[in-house]
Amino acid sequence: MTMTKAAVVVITAFFTTVMTQDMKLPPRFIVQPNRQYYFKVDDATFTQELPCRAKGIPEPYYEWKKFGELLSVGTRGWNWKPNGGGTISINGPDFSDEGYYQCLARNTDGMVAVSTVAFFQRARAGAFPYNQTVETKVVREGENVTLVCSGKPQFPYAAPNPTIQWELYTPASGSVKETQAIMADDKRRQVDQSGALRFAFVTRDDSQPNQQYRCSAYNSLLKLSVFGSPVKLSVDSTNPLTVNAPKLMYKTAPEPSSGPSVVFLKGQNRTLSCIFAGKPVPTIRWYKLDANGRLMNPDGIVDKTQNLVIQVVNFDHEGTYRCTGSNPGGSQSAEIQVAVEAAPFWTKTGRPKDTNVTAGDDFTFECGTEGIPAPDKPKFYSNGVELDLSQPRIVYDEQEPTKFTLKNVSKADLQVFQCNVSNKHDYLYASVYLNVLLRTQLLVEPEQNVSYEEDNKPTNVRFNCSAKGDPMTPLTFTWMYNTPETDKWMPLPAGGPYTFIMDNEHAVDLDISLEKGSVHAQYKCVVENGYMPAEVLATLWNENAGPTSISIDPFLPVWTLVAAVATTLALSLLSSVVIAVIVRRKRRQRYADDAPEMNEELMQTPPAGVGSYEIPLQMNNGTSLSRSLHGENEVADDVPMYLEVPTLNTEIPRTHVRVHAEIGSGSFGQVYMGEIYNQNGQGEWTAAAVKTVRDPHDSALVKDLKDELKVMQILRPHPNVVTLFASCTRDGGVPMIILEYLPNGNLQTSLRNDRARNKAVYNNLYGASASLTSRDLMKYAVDVANGMAFLSSMSILHRDLAARNVLLSDDKRCKVSDFGFARDVIESHQYEMKSQGRVPVRWMSPEALNDQIFTSQSDVWAYGVLLWEIVTLGCIPYPGMSAEQVMRKITNGYRMPRPQHCSQDMYGIMLSCWEGAPNARPSFKDLTSSLNELLVADYDVLTFGEFEEALYDNVDKCDGDEKC
């Protein structure tokens, strides 16, 4: 079969044999600890296990960390087998064992750490505020009545959550009859979800001589009940109610943070309750309403227990439910709106699975999940280390954040990829082992040599060129020649003595007719499959003239791309080969068109991986420009987003300012007590703080002050940010910024003064002292979070957030101040640490310490440290450590432990601010919401009765080269 037209022969073939390599498997977790564990103290027999196990080849080696520091086997009762399973056993734990633990597994091929934190917390029974006086409640027979514990049950630090029960007992004999037994006989009594005991209507049997009702909180781990104050019920039977129309006493209510709907979690069993009082006992019917408010089940569901139990909640259970209580006296209805949310779950694509990919192909890792609320963007990891999605070979689209593609995989990519997806309810974690199947190289014919004598010259000579290997699609055969005169390989021209013969789909031979003219001496066939080329040498010589061959190993790949050869094509195959030629040329043209674009992409700065890190970009004119790379903070090329906000004109005549005594100073600036005229528009002098520079002839200091003014001029008044009154900077005099005057100083000094003034502050659990209360400190925390949320919404980074830079107003409201470090926002959107000057090391995030860049997420880290300052009443963070130790420990994952008097809820907020990955930290808006929930909680978030004074004595100093 001959070919008669110049072309590139593209042959489609399939080759199924692949070569694998010795198997290695980086560790991946198959068992992980839960988020929370509780333990008993003073119990040598108590042992708690935190499960952790991974699989890998070779078998993983295990380590455990507590607060980021490695634990030693056998110390303090910690036991696990480093080479035989990672589950840790903690024997006889005590108070010092509280904290968060992390399991790590490693082998020679990689390392991976558990993705969640296991909180280990001692169990506490809690306590009710107890009243020795027995309360007597007088009611009329047939009325409805509700009994609560001492007005409102409180369980400070009850862990795990207790079960609330009611008991009817006789104090003299100590006999107890539990409410559950009473309810089994009489449906009139119900314990609602808040723990109150509700009587549908009261009978004389509910009041027995010498008997009292009392509530208890039962701790299942400690097997201990804590009792509330007793209540005696006195029933007046002289004028009983014979008929009492139904009256709604209680219905399932949403949590304060859930809006108008009761939130159920998909997959759980949940109960809706409606308690109606009435005589006779009302009949309860439950209805489901459609979107238009019509009854979906007109007959309703009759449930005498006053509860509607929903088994295995799903999205169909979302909607409005109506409960109706009826008796001969009438009826009453109530509605409950139910919203169904869900922890993350895998989409139809399913959980990612281990994948075999042939070298040279692409690997796509998709972590598709859904949930309500929608899960956060997945975090991707490679062998336990967060993946840099800006790598050149990784294709990642922010519009499709659930997947990425690794291009052109090789043996070096053999590893474990992981993804972690979470929302407020739970998380999903998947590991995928990428096994790379190696391709076989192309193999061609051995070298071919043909010699002849002039007197015995053959008519034709045929050189073979066939190939096998992987992949076989497409194959390109190129015949070339070389002559001693030029010593240069050139494409072999078509026609004349040369004919190309396709023996099969894997071979294109060269036939040379020695009768049709002179021929060249050296030939070679180059075969390409788009992955690895190979070539075979052929030599034709005349014995009378001598050999002209060169030696090439036909089994070694040659990494050059050669030109196409001319071929001839038989008429019977003309159409099919022409099509192949066109396709090939179009493909080459497309690659050529794409090439400049690809080069341009390589020249561009890659996008940042996570968070809102800001990186400097060098522009053509040499100036530095910064660009925010995180969602809502994205700005234009050279104009920060917040500069588009009109700035205030704050300049006033210098005669409108009075300057009095100095009230503060620093290395570069001074603050004076002063007054400003007509600030309130009533022609009066108002107290103010006047900020200026120490040396008005230092142009750099003057510029810094003006930059700080630029930041403040962007801001509009906010109750938790210091207000700018005016400025005097344009008349050639000493530049001044006039601010509102806050007489109570900064938060750090106020906290320390209170601690020093009243050492009995830790007796303040029930307000016995006039010192700061738990609620006062929580209010401080909320104020600062509010102020920072406002600054963040204006795209302003504070960069020096600490208690010393928060001022207190007359009404003890916290206001964020000191925007000195924020001045660089105007110019470069990035604050870089300088070698000179003092640096706030103890408030700086790992990325600020290591990379010298500040972001909104680094402000959140600093806020977590500020919370610790508030909780410890103004102590220096990382007590007892030098600045160098602090930097080293933070980089290694250390986090300050929970103060004894700080609740786990509050400490959990601190830890969320100290997440290692910046984009895993909450926003200030989220922090404000979480803190407001704690502010209205029914227990003290900070219990100063457990304040350990000795831990915080003499720790209010830091190194001289630090900013504290």
* CA dist., res. 690 & res. 725, Å (int): 10
Q: How many CB atoms lie within 10 A of CB 650?
A: 16
Q: How many CB atoms lie within 10 A of CB 483?
A: 13
Q: How many CB atoms lie within 10 A of CB 723?
A: 16
* CA dist., res. 688 & res. 442, Å (int): 83
* CA dist., res. 849 & res. 881, Å (int): 16
* CA dist., res. 954 & res. 876, Å (int): 10
Distance of CA 467 to the CA centre of its chain: 51
Instruction: List strand residue ranges (DSSP E) for 546-654, in order.
Output: 614-618, 624-628
* CA dist., res. 887 & res. 849, Å (int): 7
Cα first-last separation, the chain: 88
Residue 927 phi, psi (nearest 5): -65, -40
Closest CA to 117 of 34, 48, 186, 241: 34
Which residue, chain included where needed, has tokens 């992987």?
470
Check whether the bond before 696 is cis (ω within 30° of 0): no
Closest CA to 163 of 175, 147, 180, 151: 180
Catalytic residues: 800
* CA dist., res. 351 & res. 428, Å (int): 10
Residue 571 phi, psi (nearest 5): -60, -30
User: Each residue of 292-316: b (16+ CB within 10 Å) or e?
Assistant: eeeeeeeebeebeebbbebeebeee
Distance of CA 243 to the CA centre of its chain: 59
Distance of CA 186 to the CA centre of its chain: 51
| DSSP label of 566 | P
* CA dist., res. 836 & res. 827, Å (int): 20
| DSSP label of 723 | P
664 within 8 A of 684, measured Cβ to Cβ? no
197 within 8 A of 164, measured Cβ to Cβ? no
* DSSP structure string for 762-795: GGGGGT-SSS--HHHHHHHHHHHHHHHHHHHHTT
Closest CA to 5 of 569, 573, 503: 569
Would the CA dihedral through 498, 499, 503, 504 be positive or negative? positive
* CA dist., res. 735 & res. 146, Å (int): 67
Query: Residue 456: how many CA atoms within 13 Å on its side-chain side?
Result: 6
Sequence-ordered list of residues with C-beta below 8 angstroms from that of 31, at least 6 positions apart, any chain:
51, 52, 53, 87
* DSSP structure string for 564-584: PPP--B-GGGHHHHHHHHHHH
Closest CA to 7 of 501, 632, 478, 371: 478
The answer to whether the annotation marks 691 as part of a ligand binding site is yes
659 within 8 A of 672, measured Cβ to Cβ? yes
* Structural Rg of the chain based on CA atoms: 39
Q: How many CB atoms lie within 10 A of CB 560?
A: 10
* CA dist., res. 424 & res. 342, Å (int): 9
From residue 957, alpha-carbon distances to 548, 876, 877, 933, 960 in Å are 87, 7, 10, 34, 9
| Token pair in block for residue 855 | 């972001």
Binding-site residue set: 691
Binding-site residue set for ATP: 691
